[in-house]
Structure 1
Amino acid sequence: MNILNLIRWKNLGMMALMQYLIKYAMLVPFVVPYGVDITLNGFGFSLLVLATLSIAAAGYIINDIYDVETDLVNKPDKVIVGKSVSEKTAYTLFIVFNVIGVLIGFYLSHLVGRSGFFALFVIISGLLYIYASYLKRLLLVGNIVISILVAMSLLLVGLFELLPAVTVQNQETQLTFFKIIFDYAVFAFSLNLLREMIKDIEDIDGDYKSGMNTLPIALGRDRASKITFVFAIVPLLIVIHYVITYMYSQLYVVIYFLALVIAPLIFLIIKLYMAKTKKDFTFLSSLVKLIMLFGMLSLVLYKFVLLES
């Protein structure tokens, strides 16, 4: 169980869910009615998910290794490396998960006839290491990089499923569905960046002790809270624009977004404006994850939206 907590099994489960939703809720149902061409069979796609989760798990491990000093201040009860799992074991697991992810990525890239895609797995793996060891200490840079990598976990599905199957005849359809995936990736990026900013405020004490230069350390907790409050409006505007532009004619879809995405985002913004304590920001960080989950679950609705339109 300690190793499962080390690799953040709940976060990995959510990542896998998002990828499977993209394939089986948004792509597979439209193979016949819309002529969407997908590249990977069920086994091949499961390998893609496994590669993504393996590299993400390695990222969580190396981050925990470098964060021991910080976590001893911010969350001493949840420190794993050096306590329930030795640092040597953690490093070994980091290497093993990276090797698994990169090797599967190499195989899949050649399987779909896009050998250049292999570089993505190497770059993502490398960036996760650089993030943990250096980038996260830089003002907003680490937050942006890790949020881009979260978005990439969604884009990988489009890259491996849609782009290798593009032909002159289906180009418009393939790119239309890739654009939908891209829109969700932008949503995931903005929400994850918001969560990273909230976590920086939550973890200011340990980050300061570790010599990091996060937004609340550079500008102070109050100013950072105000900036985060303003930025929280961005994902709200993205969702509202998306619903008005693409979903306005589907009443039940609009209700879903209003009740489970837009309303929670408005509530989050209000609570963020009033947040003062570490407990407040911990709650808001968890709320962002819940909003992201409901946002991704909306993929299930596309079968009804597109087939009825």
Structure 2
Amino acid sequence: MRLVAAFLRLVRWPNLVFIIITQLLFYFCIYQPLFQTQEIYQLLWLIVASVFIAAAGYIINDYFDLNIDQINKPGKNVINSIINRRWAIIWHIGLSTAGIIATAIAVSFHKWYLIIANIVVVSLLWLYSTSFKRQLLIGNIVISLLTSWTVLILFFAKVPFNAVYGNNDPNITKYFKISFLYAGFAFVISLVREAIKDIEDLKGDLRYECRTLPIVTGIRTAKVYVAVWLVVLIGALLLLQLYLLLIGWAWAVIYSILFVIVPSIILLSRLLKARTTQEFSKLSALTKLIMFTGILSMIFFRL
């Protein structure tokens, strides 16, 4: 049981559950009401692919971050203490391969570009762990793009590239707009969280010569960077609420204000005052909560 618990910690099981919830909500609240079709077989395989590839990414990240985590998160990395490094690599390779196979089963070879896309995702997760995360902003952008891909892969699994532009189907147009709305939200909130985590992990990153934003520009500039993205996000969400009011979605507006916009404003306020590692850790957790409540708003498309 100790080994199982360690493995679940290694693959960040709460984050994997979040991926499952996101893709289930997207399918049943966005896709299914628009197109009135049931394609559960494909959905399940895409979820398996996303979960396996993400789990492999967490494993390889901890594998290469062993020394840094001993400073930033002492006692939390299970590699070498409970799980042997060789087994970590084996699990990474096995889960990555299984994720690619699951993608091929889900979309078949007539959408070969999605199989290639997930191969690229696996490669980017490796490069992120070995190089990108130690470079200025590159790692943050890569992770944010991969977070938005959790939604976009479901979009492209259903809609071919040539149907996005120049189509006369209002459902495809609406599906495109909603998909990229949530993907954009996931991208921005991930940028915010990754930058906050960089500030939180400053001590260990500095010792191992990483070039993250707070190291290169200083904590104050990094906080300004995060604040700008938060202001952009809050502004975009407020504009969206005006549109929702016009179409009569009052309950969605109330939900968004209480559970997404207000927490984002609180996050911005606390960010400007934060000084300690513990404070930035709480901000990171709050950011994850905002992402979760934002994704949950998909329910209103079903209602």
With normalisation by structure 1, the TM-score equals 0.91
Aligned residues: 297
2:292 matched to which residue of 1? 293
Amino acid at match of 1:250: W
- Whole-Å Cα distance in 1 between the matches of residues 149 and 171 of structure 2? 21
Q: 2:108 aligns with which of 83, 106, 110?
A: 110
Instruction: Give the CA deviation at 1:30.
Output: 3.0
Aligned-pair CA distance for 1:25: 1.3
**Aligned counterpart, 1:217:** 215
Q: How does 1:14-25 map to 2 (within 5 A)?
A: 14-25=18-29
Residue 148 of structure 1 is matched in structure 2 by 145
Aligned-partner Cα distance in 2 for 1:12–1:169? 35
Aligned equivalent of 2:281:
282
Q: CA deviation at 1:247?
A: 4.4
Supply the distance in 2 between the matched residues of 1:149 and 1:229 (Cα, whole angstroms).
22
* SS of alignment partner, residue 297 of structure 2: helix
Question: Residue 232 of structure 1: SS of its match in structure 2?
Answer: helix
Report if the CA contact (8 A) 2:68-2:205 is conserved: yes
Unaligned runs of 5+ in 2: none
Please identify, of 279-288 and 173-182, the stretch whose mean Cα deviation from structure 2 is larger: 173-182
Deviation at 1:91, TM superposition (A): 0.3
1:107 CA drift (Å): 2.5
Q: Deviations over 1:112-150 (max 9, x none)?
A: x32222111111111110111011111001100110010
Amino acid at match of 2:81: K
Q: CA RMSD in A?
A: 1.9
Q: How does 1:114-125 map to 2 (within 5 A)?
A: 114-125=111-122
Q: CA deviation at 1:109?
A: 2.9
1:69 partnered with 2:63: no
Question: How far, CA to CA, are the matches of 1:180 and 1:21 in structure 2?
Answer: 13
Structure 1 position 2 matched with structure 2 position 11: no
What is the identity, as a one-letter code, of the residue corresponding to 1:14?
Answer: F
Q: Which of residues 224, 233, 236 is equivalent to 1:235?
A: 233
Which 10-residue stretch deviates more, 237-246 or 78-87?
Answer: 237-246
Letter in 2 for 1:236: I
* Percent sequence identity over aligned pairs: 32
Q: Residue 30 of structure 1 corresponds to which residue in structure 2?
A: 34
Of residues 157, 160, 174 in structure 2, which corresponds to 1:160? 157
Aligned partners of 2:46 and 2:103 also within 8 Å: yes
Give me the whole-angstrom Cα distance separating, in 1, the residues matched to 2:125 and 2:23: 20
Matched AA of 2:121: I
Question: Structure 2 counterpart of 1:158, which letter?
Answer: F
**Do the aligned residues in 2 keep the contact of 1:163 with 1:174 (CA within 8 Å)?**
no
- 1:96 paired to 2:94: yes
For 2:224 and 2:35, locate their aligned partners in 1 and report how far apart those are by CA, in whole Å. Answer: 46
Give the Cα–Cα distance (whole angstroms) in 2 for the partners of residues 153 and 47 of structure 1. 13
Task: Report the alpha carbon displacement of residue 176 of structure 1 after superposing the two structures with TM.
Answer: 1.6
Unaligned residue ranges in structure 1 (runs of 5+): 33-37, 305-309
Distance in 1 of aligned mates of 2:75 and 2:231: 33
Partner Cα separation in structure 1 for residue 162 and residue 25 of structure 2: 20
When normalised by structure 2's length, the TM-score is: 0.93
Task: Kindly state the Cα deviation for residue 225 of structure 1 after the two structures are TM-superposed.
Answer: 2.0
User: How far off is 1:266 after superposition?
Assistant: 0.5
Deviation string 1:276-296 (CA, Å, 9 cap, x unpaired) is: 111110000000010111101
Looking at structure 2, the residues matched to 213 and 299 of structure 1 have their Cα atoms a distance apart, in angstroms, of: 37
Q: Tell me the distance in 2 between the aligned counterparts of 1:251 and 1:160.
A: 32
